[in-house]
Amino acid sequence: MPHIKEGSLEAPTRHALDWKTPEFWDEDNLNAELERVYDICHGCRRCVSLCNAFPTLFDLVDESDTMEVDGVAKADYVKVVDHCYLCDLCYLTKCPYVPPHEWNVDFPHLMLRAKAIKSKKQGVSMRDKMLSSTDAMGSFMGIPIVNQVGNAVNKNGMMRSITESVLGIHKDAVVPEYHGKTLRKRTVGMAVDEAKAKPAGETTGKVALFATCYANHNAPQLGEDLIAVLQHNDVVVKLAEKEQCCGMPKLELGDLDAVEAAKDANIPVLSKLVDEGWDIMAPVPSCVLMFKQELPLMFPDDPEVIKVSQAIYDPFEYLMLRHKEDALKTEFPNPLGKVAYHVACHQRVQKIGMKTRDILQLIPETEVKPIERCSGHDGTYAVKKEFHDISTKICRPVISQVQRAEVDHYGSDCPMAGAQIQNGMEGDMVAETPITLLRKAYGI
pLDDT for res 125: 79
pLDDT, tens only, 352-368:
999 999 999 999 999 99
Q: Say if CB 323 and CB 432 are below 8 A apart.
A: no
313 pLDDT above the threshold of 90: yes
Closest CA to 368 of 410, 333, 318: 410
pLDDT for res 370: 95
CATH topology of domain 330-442: Rossmann fold (3.40.50)
Task: Assign 3 a pLDDT band (cuts: 50, 70, 90).
Answer: low
pLDDT for res 241: 87
Cα–Cα separations (whole angstroms), residue 406 to 338, 400, 426? 8, 10, 12
**178 or 389, which is more confident?**
389
Q: Which helix (H) or strand (E) holds 81?
A: helix 77-81
Task: Assign 170 a pLDDT band (cuts: 50, 70, 90).
Answer: confident
**300 or 382, which is more confident?**
300
pLDDT, tens only, 77-90:
999 999 998 988 89
Closest CA to 242 of 268, 221, 223: 268
Percent of residues, the chain, with pLDDT higher than 90: 59
CA–CA separation, 164 vs 385, rounded Å? 7
Average pLDDT of the segment spanning 92-96? 88
CA–CA separation, 341 vs 398, rounded Å? 10
171 pLDDT above the threshold of 80: yes
pLDDT, tens only, 40-62:
999 998 888 888 999 999 999 99
1 pLDDT above the threshold of 50: no
pLDDT for res 189: 85
As a whole number, the mean pLDDT across the chain is 89
140 pLDDT above the threshold of 80: no
Q: Say if CB 79 and CB 60 are below 8 A apart.
A: yes
Where in the chain are the domains? 22-122, 126-167, 183-320, 330-442
pTM for the full model?
0.90
pLDDT, tens only, 241-262:
888 888 888 898 889 999 999 9
pLDDT for res 139: 61
